[in-house]
């Protein structure tokens, strides 16, 4: 059963400008594994914008409650390339309250816009 659905978009250029003008913003929004590629290089801004959109979409799927920590939701990528959500702390607690047992996430970025859809399933 679907418990919640969220969608969000992020203008990549605007997101990049926000990261540039706000020191430490990326570290407040993302876990180290989200910021870095397996090679150790920093992930590109379009990819980060899509991950930010996924976190916003996840919050919407949970009813957008106050108090969720950005780093309590992590966008992971399986070996197949499929994105997955890993939730802990405040996000996991809210999901448990709502009966969420699994997540579905889709990310995209094209034409200067990053987007994400998150479905919470119980």
32 annotated ligand-binding residue? no
* Tokens linked to 11: 């203008």
Which sequence spans correspond to the domains of the chain? Answer: 2-121
The whole-number average pLDDT for the span 65-70 is 93
56: annotated binding-site residue?
Answer: yes
pLDDT category, 39, cuts 50, 70, 90?
A: confident
Query: What pLDDT does residue 5 have?
Result: 98
Is the backbone of residue 75 left (phi > 0), alpha (psi -120 to 50) or beta? beta
CATH topology assigned to domain 2-121:
Ribosomal Protein L22; Chain A (3.90.470)
Query: Is pLDDT at 115 greater than 90 in this prediction?
Result: yes
Measure Cα distances from 38 to 26, 46, 78 in Å: 18, 17, 12
Q: Which of these, 48, 37, 64, lies nearest to 11 by C-alpha position?
A: 48
Q: pTM of the full predicted structure?
A: 0.94
């Amino acid at each position: 059963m679907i418990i919640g659905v969220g969608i969000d978009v992020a203008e990549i250029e605007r997101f990049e400008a926000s990261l540039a003008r706000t020191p430490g913003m990326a570290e407040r929004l993302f876990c180290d594994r989200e910021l870095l590629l397996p090679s150790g290089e920093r992930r590109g801004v379009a990819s980060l914008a899509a991950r930010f959109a996924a976190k916003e979409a996840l919050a919407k799927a949970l009813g957008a409650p106050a108090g969720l920590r950005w780093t309590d939701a992590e966008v992971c990528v399986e070996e197949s390339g499929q994105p997955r959500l890993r939730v802990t702390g405040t996000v996991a607690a809210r999901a448990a309250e709502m009966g969420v047992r699994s997540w579905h996430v889709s990310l995209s970025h094209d034409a200067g816009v990053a987007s994400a859809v998150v479905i919470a399933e119980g």
